Structure 1
Amino acid sequence: MQLLFYFVPFPLWLSAVFSKVRVGLVELFVMRSFRKIPPHEIVLPAITANYAGLPISVAQLQTHYMAGGNIRNVVAALIAATKAG
Structure 2
Amino acid sequence: MARGEAGSGLGLSIDRILQLGSARLRDNLVATIDKFTTEVGLTGYATYVIDDGAPIGYRLAASHPERISAIVVQNGNACDEGQVSR
TM more than 0.5: no
Structure having greater relative contact order (Cα 8 Å, sep ≥ 6): 2
**Structure 1 length normalisation: TM-score?**
0.26
Task: Identify the structure with the greater strand proportion.
Answer: 2
**Structure 2 length normalisation: TM-score?**
0.26
